[in-house]
Amino acid sequence: MGNVVYDGLTFEPFITREKIAARVIELAQELRRDISDDNPLFVCVLNGSFIFAADLFRACDFPDAEITFIRLKSYEGTSSTGQVKQVLGLNENVEGRTVVIIEDIVDTGVTAVELRRLFEDNNAKSVKMVTLLFKPSSLKCGKEPEYVGFAIPPAFVLGYGLDIDEKARGLSDIYALKKD
């Protein structure tokens, strides 16, 4: 597995597809163990989470789970906390339901705070977050995700759904920006 180059930047192999696949199975087992609800609602946060969500949802194999999709756009510079708008909104009634938010990566935590608030405001019974990647040292607000695939240092990563300017999402492995 060699390096890849995007926008003139070099990225080196970071997490292999085999490691990702093994961790996805473990996360699915944890979710099956912890969630007793018959029909939890999984929420895939587009765009970056679509590959992880597909793999995780299949691995969980809940008999009556549902999955839906939401897309947020953050506006920087409009407020100090960052303002997040729903571009593809939530149509499901989440009242009284267990909601499992599927994220690709939690960095500052701004998006996660906004997502949790959305489901709590709509009276979900419980809201859990599962993220493939988490940068603990970058977290500025909110709490840690309940389920974390890999805790990583604050490097920029791509692949397995994660992009650089909408590119590189199709890479099967995860790569990290190479330091000089």
Piece of the chain touching ligand 5GP by CB under 6 A; list 1-9, 12-20, 100-108, 115-123: 100-108
CB of 104 to ligand 5GP, least distance (A): 6
Binding mask 125-164 for ligand 5GP (x = CB under 6 A): -------------------------------xxx---xx-
Residue 111 binding ligand 5GP, by CB under 6 A = yes
107 labelled catalytic: yes
Q: Which lies closer to ligand 5GP via its Cβ, residue 23 or residue 50? A: 50
Query: Which residue type is seen at 27?
Result: L
User: Considering only residues 12-51, where is the footprint of ligand 5GP by CB under 6 A?
Assistant: 48
Q: Is 4 in the site for ligand 5GP (CB under 6 A)?
A: no
* Contact (CB, 8 A) for 48 and 104: yes
Q: Are 122 and 90 in contact (CB under 8 A)?
A: yes
Residue 40 near residue 28, CB atoms below 8 Å:
no
Q: Which of 107, 121, 163, 165 is catalytic?
A: 107
As annotated, the active-site residues are 107
Q: Using CB under 6 A, list all residues that contact ligand 5GP.
A: 48, 104-112, 156-158, 162-163
